[in-house]
Amino acid sequence: MAEPRAAVRAAGRRLMQRGAHGVRRTVARRRRLLVYLAILGPGMITANAGNDAGGIATFASVGAEFGYSLLWVLIPIAISLGIVQEMCARMGAVTGKGLADLVRERFGVRWTAVIMLALLIANAGVTVSEFVGIAAAAELFGISRFVAVPFAAILVWWLVAKGSYKKVEKVFLLMSVVFLGYIVSAFLSKPDWTAVAVGLVRPTLRLEHAFIFTLVAVIGTTISPYMQVYVQSSVVEKGVTVDNYSETKTDVWVGTVFAILIVFFIVVSTAATLHKAGIQISSAEDAAHALRPLAGRYAQTLFGIGLFGASMLAAGVLPLATAYSISEALGFEKGVSHSFREAPIFLGTFTFLVAFGAAIAVIPNLPLIRVLLVTQVINGLLLPIVLFAILRLVNNRELMGTQVNGPIYNLAAWLTAILVTLVSLLYLLMTFFPGILRL
C-alpha cells in the first residue's frame, strides 16, 4: 500500500509543480504586457496621427482607383517612417531637447524662422482639414457640423489646456483604438486575399500622371514634418532618457507597424468594394457612403467612426506639434503640463490653431481642395529640409555621443531621405506643371 501512496503523492507534486510553472509563465506574460502598455505613447500616437482625414481620403482613393496594385508601397513606407521617427525619438532621449531647439542651436535663427513660418502655415491648413473630417464624420451620423465641430474643438482644447501630459497621452492612445474598426470593415468587404497577397509582394509602376500623383500623395501623407516635431518633443516631455530608451524604441516601431497595418486595411476594404464596382471617390466620407450598399451598414459605420477618431487625434496632435516647435524655436517655456501663465506662447499657439481650424471648417462651400493643395506644397518643400537637418543632427557625435546612427542604419536613413526628397520634388513638379509626364 505504501508504494501506490508514494506514487500518488509524487504525481500530485509533479502536477502542482507544473501548475506553479504555468502560473509563473502567465504572470510573466502579464507583466511584459503591462510594461509595454506603460511605455506606449509617443511612437504609437505620432504614427497613428499620420492617418488623419487627408490620409484616410488618400488611402481610400488608392484602393478605389488602383485596387490592390499599390499595396507593395506600404512595405518601404513602413521602414522609412519607422527610421525617421526612431531617429527623432532617440535625439529627444539623448539631448533632452526638441527638434526645433536643436535646429535653432545648430543652424541659426534665420533658418529656424523660415522653417517655423512654413510649418505654422502648413499645419494651420492641415488643422482645418482635420476639423472638416470631424464635420464629415458627424454628418454621416446625422449630427450637424455646427454642433460637432465646436464641441470637438472645445473638447480637444480642454484636454490639452487643462490636463497633464499623462492624461493627454492616455486619451490620445484611446483615440487610436478606433482604427481597429478599419480591420473589421476590411473583412466585411470580403476581399480576394490571393489578389491582396500578390499586390503586397509584386511591385507595379505606371508612368501615368494619376498613378505617380497617387504614389507621391501616399508617401507625403504618411511622413509629414509635424510628426517628427511631435515625437521628439513628446519623448522629451515624457522624461525618456538613454537608460530607458529601448522601451520607447519598441513603442516607435510597434506604432509604425500598427499605423501601416491600418492603411493596409483601408486600401483593402475600398479595393474590394469601390474598385470592384468602378466607383471613384474624392473624400473619406464619399468612401463611407459608397461602402454601405456594397459592404453593408456596419462597414459604413465603422469607416465613419474611424474617420471621426482619426480626425480628433490629428486635431490634437497637429496644433500641439506646432506649439512645441514655435515655443522651442523662440526659446519659450513649453509643455502640456504647464498652465497659461507658465507657458503662454505654447498654449496660445495651440489655442489659436484649434480655434482657427474649427472656425474655418464650418464655413459653407469651403474650397478645401485648394487649401490642402497649398499646404501640401509647403509640406513638400519643408519635408526634405527637415529630413536632412535630422540626419545632420543625429550623426553629430558632439551632440549624440555613441548614439549616432550605425553604418547600415545610416545608409537606410540617407536612402529614405533621398527618396522622399525626390518624391517631394516630383510632387511639386506635378503641382506646378500638371502636364509634365506627357512631355
Distance CA 54, CA 128 (A): 11
pLDDT in tens, 174-197: 777 777 888 888 888 888 999 999
Which helix (H) or strand (E) segment is 356 a member of? Answer: helix 344-361
Domain ranges of the chain: 40-438
Sign of CA dihedral 217, 219, 220, 224: positive
Q: Judge whether 234 and 106 are in contact, CB under 8 Å.
A: no
pTM of the model: 0.81
Distance CA 437, CA 208 (A): 7
Distance CA 332, CA 130 (A): 27
- Identify the CATH assignment for 40-438 out of 1.20.1740.10, 3.30.1300.10, 3.40.640.10, 3.20.20.80: 1.20.1740.10
* pLDDT band with cut points at 50, 70 and 90 for residue 339: confident
Number of residues that this document lists for the chain? 439
Indicate whether 34 pLDDT > 50: no
Q: Judge whether 161 and 351 are in contact, CB under 8 Å.
A: yes
Q: Between residues 15 and 152, which one has the greater pLDDT?
A: 152
Average pLDDT, integer, range 293-322: 80
